[in-house]
Structure 1
Amino acid sequence: MEFSRRSRLRLEDEFNEDAALEGLICHNVALYLLPPMVDLAIEDFETLALERLKVLRILEQATAKNVKIGSDEGRESILNEMNHAELKAYARLCSGNRNTDLDMEARRRDYVSHFILRFAYCRSEELRRWFVTREMELFRLKFSGLSSQDVADFIEDFDMDYTPLTADERAEVKEGLYDSTGYQTVSQIDTMDFYKVPFTDVLDLVRGQRCYLKEGYAYVSAGDFVSVIGNKHQELLEEGLQAHLRLLPELENDERFASLLKGLHTSYTGKDYTIAKNGEVPIESLDQLSKKSFPLCMRMCHDTLRSTHHHRHGGRMQYGLFLKGIGVTLEDSLRFWREEFTRGTVALDKFEKDYAYNIRHNYGKEGSRVNYTPYSCMKIIMSSVGPTDTHGCPFKIWDPSVLQTKLGSYGLGAAHAEEIAGFVSKGHYQVACSKYFEVSHGLPLEEGINHPNQYFELSQIKMGARAAPAKPKPTPSRRPVNHNGTASQQDETMLDTQDTEALNEDDDDELWQLMENKESGAEPKPVKQQQNGHVPEKVELEGIKPLNGAVAAALHWEDDEDFDVSQMETE
């Protein structure tokens, strides 16, 4: 299959950055054939990466719940979640093809962010597989929102050698189209465009009996045209990741990018729960709250503390920061942990000497005075848990039989416990947690669970104990990023960077080192102070270079010269 960019990419000898990017984003459904030549400030690099990662995680959770991405119901569900997460630019791209200023801004964000994530996801086979799967889901979601005219525009924009059947050609195969397109009404079929392609290009449609076959050709509706190019698009993604892998060492010479890219997949992209914003929570209410509003990981921590009166360092960090995030004050936190530990084997003077300092440290009152962030789901899931540890994600670390027994003891029926265990068996721990929330509260969730403090906040809102937060109003600090590193005036594509956590979730390195030294009896080592883990402001990133010389040369092709995407090999 060949695509050409014709005059859209015909540039003068003096390179024009704006014209190059405009030529690449001619349609809301992008094929990412050529890398963009843009300059980005490093904070914009991070913002765009996090924004796209949010989208891909929404798709991952939807797929885990068996949501059919191409169906009207599935599309509506996913787009609602995108809008709820302030990802209106991507929701717009998945709602047909238009050429407004908002669409152009959304395309810029989409195109540049795709190539940023290639650098983050090219480093291992597992990451590449995850990225390609998610990007193909996004591709299908975008395509499912196209009208017949949008599909025709897509074919024209990428100069594909496909044309809709003429009236005479349709008449010859009309009965076959009716018989093979039973999921559509006759009136719908009569108004749809169909394309004649080799049947080997759409084997998935052949298997699903979603096309008419005649003499080695398949007759494919505009709605199913995504299958015609889907396989080739996937090949291009896989080849592009391999090419980026070869470029990665050069980019990672800069430690800022190395740290940012390595931590991206496990980074938290939601609301910042470092400081409680909904008042104080008295420790006297924790027993009651743990039964209804705590996620399973924190209920596990609470029950363990109440029964054993002790936690190892990992448990104290996981649970202590969660309590801080829901509104437990420093004074109450000290009292809570003091009462529990001194009921066990820890003497009062030992608690004050060995443990109180660390609690004050969590609240930013000791050491480097960093106000530590409560752990996200991903951080908890990825944490190492030893046999004597009391932290971690129970959906991941508990044996399935133990999990189902525990869920039953918490009042869940056998069918629901089995359903949750089914998600766990497939590695969908956050989906299992979301289902646990829905069953426990008897209410559906409009968003997936990504943070224990999010779980608590949503629970309190559902129970009427807290008011739902108002949607943030646009402010100058939340302007969307344009492709040239400047701010756009389009409010609809804004990303709330104030509600995102830094990519580097290593704020607690100092405290971990202190505790490891204390437990091992070693002398403390000096720890480099950090300034809240954020990358430096306004550090310019050099233009993202083309993948190879052949790709760079493609920017100077003449009007009617085609290029074969299969030739995009690295030199």
Structure 2
Amino acid sequence: MRQFYPNPPNEPFTLEEFEFYSHCRLEVLLAIHHIKEHQNGKDLYEECMKNVSQDAQQVMQNMAQDSYSHYILRVAACVSKWTEWFIDMETKLFRMRICREDCVQALHQAFAVSYRIVAFDSLTHSEKNWMRATTSQNDIHKSRFYMVPFTECNDLIRDRRVLIRDGFCVLPKKDLIHVICYHFRSKIVSQMKTLKKGLAVHQQEIKRLTFIFDKLTSYYASKTYTATYQQAHEGPPFHFTLETIDHVASRHYPLCMQHLHDKLREHHHLKYNGRLQYRLFLKSLGFKVEENLRFWNTEFTKKISEAEFQKRYAYSIRHTYGLEGGRKDFEPYNCQQLSDSAPPKSGQYHGCPFKHWSSATLEVNLNEKKIGRDKIIPIIKASEYGKHQTACQLYFEAMHPLSAVGSFRLDNIGLYPSEYLYMSIRAFLP
């Protein structure tokens, strides 16, 4: 049986091992982040292991080191504010490894959970037809089904792949993997909330490890950024011009960038943080410096002269591309950086709406976009609970055709604003 990480390890290990184990684990989680889920779990795990170093493979194969690395990254994720991403990737890793285990046994042993069993013959006629249509078993009439509370089957319900009866989902044995992953994730979420509270009283110990956590965060940011940045510079899956940017912004921008664009058009100006956030976003979409300059020049000169624009703003745009000053080529902000930025003050519009807006402001904005009440409430709840990436993903689902969203992996939404745009474009492609 695979590990469920019930308790943190208490054996001592060196600071060098601490850094080594954590880096290996992060390497594996990043490989999972970038892997394409078109094969079964076993193949996915094997494919993932091919994409990591020999050191990382050995750490994952050693039960003690597997546990060390998992718990070290728990702490790093809490300190470095990529908790939600860590939980998502650990759950995916667990799913890859558990897919061929006996999930019934795992549920009972690891989580002390068991469910009422019903036989195929006890199902109604329509329920039997549903099971025949959705289950490939030839001997389905011999199968046993499990009555699982619907709250433990969110992904199956979301994808409309489950039979519901009296508040319970009727699941064949093969679908219990969704339930065990639910319990695994729920346990990690609960334990990490406790961990965050505990870290608050151990600041001195944490400071000793800051340099390691900083390196892990830099490595995480560089690797999650690389795919998006390369995609932009290899050419996005579409091409739009400054003349069509309003249409693209209204239909495909994430909420944070759409808000900036709308306010820029309204006021013909943005304050410093908003300007920097938006021009780096345009850069991430492949806009050349000349296009970025023309975009801002066209809008700002509706209120100021050409000479004033050149004097006050042109230099900073060229600086963004590494053409002035220290000639540093600036990278676009990721969603974590936007979330961590200083909250916008009066007249400012930068940051992350799901982090910085009040629930009332967010609700007004979502209503203006004609989003249904049934979809607005989960977005606001996720925002209130601090699940900003989840809120952004729910917003994406609300703004795009259900048929398209159902076939997409939304994991990258909420990591980089440009990734939202790419996914949005694809959702509307024939």
Whether these two folds match at TM > 0.5 is yes
Q: Which amino acid in 1 is paired with 2:69?
A: S
Q: Deviations over 1:503-534 (max 9, x none)?
A: xxxxxxxxxxxxxxxxxxxxxxxxxxxxxxxx
Q: Secondary structure at the match of 1:340?
A: helix
Number of the residue aligned with 1:459: 424
Matched, 1:351 2:337: no
Q: Secondary structure at the match of 1:273?
A: helix
Q: CA separation of 1:244/1:364 partners in 2, compared to 1, >3 Å: closer, same or farther?
A: same
Q: Secondary structure at the match of 2:224?
A: coil
Say if 2:42 and 2:100, in contact at 8 Å, map to a contact too.
Answer: no
**Pick aligned residue for 1:114 from 47, 70, 90:** 70
**Pick aligned residue for 1:299 from 258, 268, 272:** 258
- Give the CA deviation at 1:261: 5.5
- Give the CA deviation at 1:452: 0.8
Percentage identity across paired residues of the two chains? 26
- Give the CA deviation at 1:116: 3.7
Q: Deviations over 1:186-208 (max 9, x none)?
A: 97789xxxxxxxxxxxxxxxxxx
Number of the residue aligned with 2:268: 309
Which structure features the higher share of helix residues? 2
Say if 2:256 and 2:353, in contact at 8 Å, map to a contact too.
Answer: yes
Q: Secondary structure at the match of 1:355?
A: helix
Number of the residue aligned with 1:504: none
Matched, 1:260 2:215: yes
- Give the CA deviation at 1:92: 3.2
Matched, 1:269 2:203: no
Q: Which amino acid in 2 is paired with 1:183?
A: I
**Pick aligned residue for 1:147 from 85, 101, 108:** 101
Q: CA separation of 1:264/1:425 partners in 2, compared to 1, >3 Å: closer, same or farther?
A: farther
Number of the residue aligned with 2:167: none
Q: CA separation of 1:82/1:107 partners in 2, compared to 1, >3 Å: closer, same or farther?
A: farther
- Give the CA deviation at 1:367: 2.0
- Give the CA deviation at 1:239: 8.6
Say if 2:321 and 2:330, in contact at 8 Å, map to a contact too.
Answer: yes
Q: Secondary structure at the match of 2:270?
A: coil
Q: Greater CA radius of gyration, 1 or 2? A: 1
Q: Which amino acid in 1 is paired with 2:316?
A: N
Say if 1:404 and 1:417, in contact at 8 Å, map to a contact too.
Answer: yes
C-alpha separation in 2, matches of 1:235 and 1:402: 32
**Pick aligned residue for 2:409 from 440, 446, 454:** 446
Say if 2:256 and 2:352, in contact at 8 Å, map to a contact too.
Answer: yes
Q: CA separation of 1:184/1:369 partners in 2, compared to 1, >3 Å: closer, same or farther?
A: farther
Q: Which amino acid in 2 is paired with 1:49?
A: L
Larger RCO (CA within 8 A; separation ≥ 6): 1
Matches within 5 A, 1:25-424: 33=9, 34=11, 46=23, 48-49=25-26, 51-52=28-29, 83-84=36-37, 92=45, 106-107=60-61, 110-111=66-67, 113-121=69-77, 145=99, 147-148=101-102, 181-183=115-117, 185=119, 247-252=205-210, 256-257=211-212, 259-260=214-215, 269-270=224-225, 271-273=227-229, 276-278=233-235, 281-344=240-303, 346-384=304-342, 385-424=344-383
- Give the CA deviation at 1:54: 8.5
- Give the CA deviation at 1:277: 2.2
Q: CA separation of 1:42/1:339 partners in 2, compared to 1, >3 Å: closer, same or farther?
A: farther
Say if 1:276 and 1:324, in contact at 8 Å, map to a contact too.
Answer: no
Q: Deviations over 1:212-236 (max 9, x none)?
A: xxxxxxxxxxx98x99xx989x889
Q: Which amino acid in 1 is paired with 2:26?
A: A
C-alpha separation in 2, matches of 1:131 and 1:322: 22
- Give the CA deviation at 1:331: 0.5
- Give the CA deviation at 1:425: 3.0
Q: How many residues align?
A: 349
- Give the CA deviation at 1:302: 0.6
- Give the CA deviation at 1:446: 1.7
Q: CA separation of 1:414/1:89 partners in 2, compared to 1, >3 Å: closer, same or farther?
A: same
- Give the CA deviation at 1:375: 1.4
C-alpha separation in 2, matches of 1:236 and 1:386: 32
Q: CA separation of 1:139/1:285 partners in 2, compared to 1, >3 Å: closer, same or farther?
A: closer
Number of the residue aligned with 1:483: none
Q: CA separation of 1:376/1:103 partners in 2, compared to 1, >3 Å: closer, same or farther?
A: closer
Q: CA separation of 1:83/1:314 partners in 2, compared to 1, >3 Å: closer, same or farther?
A: same
Q: CA separation of 1:419/1:250 partners in 2, compared to 1, >3 Å: closer, same or farther?
A: closer
Any gaps of 5 or more consecutive residues in structure 2? 47-53, 121-141, 146-178
- Give the CA deviation at 1:51: 4.5
Q: CA separation of 1:35/1:89 partners in 2, compared to 1, >3 Å: closer, same or farther?
A: farther
Q: Which amino acid in 2 is paired with 1:299?
A: Q
Q: Deviations over 1:457-511 (max 9, x none)?
A: 112222339xxxxxxxxxxxxxxxxxxxxxxxxxxxxxxxxxxxxxxxxxxxxxx
C-alpha separation in 2, matches of 1:381 and 1:129: 13
RMSD: 5.3
Any gaps of 5 or more consecutive residues in structure 1? 1-25, 59-80, 94-100, 161-176, 191-222, 466-571
- Give the CA deviation at 1:238: 6.9
TM-score (norm 1): 0.48
- Give the CA deviation at 1:418: 3.5
Q: Deviations over 1:275-324 (max 9, x none)?
A: 53216642111111011111111111111111100011110111111111
C-alpha separation in 2, matches of 1:355 and 1:138: 45
TM-score (norm 2): 0.62
Say if 1:119 and 1:244, in contact at 8 Å, map to a contact too.
Answer: no
- Give the CA deviation at 1:410: 2.6
Q: Secondary structure at the match of 1:396?
A: helix
Say if 1:420 and 1:436, in contact at 8 Å, map to a contact too.
Answer: yes
- Give the CA deviation at 1:392: 1.4
